[in-house]
Amino acid sequence: MSEAPSEPDAPRTEVPEQPPADASQPRGPDAQTYWLARFAILRLLGLIYFIAFLVFINQGIPLLGENGLLPAPAFLERVRHHFGTPGLAFLKLPTLFWLKSSDGFLLGVAWSGALLSLFVLLGFANAPILALLWFFIFRSATSVSSGMDLDGRASSANPVF
């Protein structure tokens, strides 16, 4: 039995090459096993931030407001005086409240944090939102409250001085 010569114009039955795998997509048998953990951790992080900012909305003005227990404007003025220049003071104590430390701005930062944390809670967590939440908002709020303990009582130890 002789084989028929293959014609060069005959259609090939080869499997087409698959496009290269996306490096960001997990591969292997356990590729889809961490989606639930990621889902739960990011939602819980959003919930924790949301509760923290709701507490800050409620207690921020009485504690850190212009007429509060430890007023943020007076604290920032002491920090600025201690370090000599506003630039050095900002590097040692990075906070949005160097721009303005009024009661309205304090509430605006608190409500912005609550809104962004609600986005994370609803599943819109990405690196820029989480960075905004942590550094610019949460870090700003905790920097000006460094004269307080975690439960809101006045602390005798101030980490800046």
Q: Find residue 148's DSSP bridge partners.
A: 154
pLDDT average, residue stretch 126-154? 73
Q: What are phi and psi of 20, to 5 degrees?
A: -60, 145
Q: Which residues contact 123 (CB under 8 A, 6 or more apart)?
A: 39, 42, 43
Over residues 10-39, the mean pLDDT reads: 65
Residue 129 located in a structural domain? yes
Are 87 and 96 spatial neighbours (Cβ–Cβ below 8 Å)?
Answer: no
Residue 9 lies in a domain: no
Question: 159 lies in a domain?
Answer: no
What is the number of structural domains in the chain? 1
Q: Is residue 123 part of a domain?
A: yes
pLDDT at 144: 84
Check whether 118 has a pLDDT greater than 70: yes
Per-residue pLDDT reduced to its tens digit, 35-87: 888 889 999 999 999 999 999 999 999 988 889 888 999 999 999 999 998 88
Query: Would you say the C-alpha torsion 136, 137, 138, 143 has a positive or negative sign?
Result: positive
pLDDT tops 80 at residue 22: no
Question: Is residue 119, in this structure, part of any structural domain at all?
Answer: yes
In a domain, residue 86? The reply is: yes
124: containing domain: 47-144
Give the residue with greater pLDDT, 142 vs 160: 142
Q: Calculate mean pLDDT across residues 2-30.
A: 60
In a domain, 103, yes or no: yes
pLDDT at 35: 82
Q: What percent of the chain has pLDDT over 70?
A: 70
Residue 10: pLDDT band with limits 50, 70, 90: low
pLDDT for position 44:
93
What's the rounded Cα separation, in Å, for the pair 39 and 16?
36
User: What is the per-residue burial (b if ≥16 Cβ within 10 Å, else e) of 101-119?
Assistant: bebeebeebbebbbebbeb
State the pLDDT confidence band at 135, using cuts at 50, 70 and 90: confident
Q: What is the pLDDT of residue 108?
A: 93
Does the residue 72 lie in any domain? yes
Q: Kindly report the average pLDDT of the chain as a whole number.
A: 79
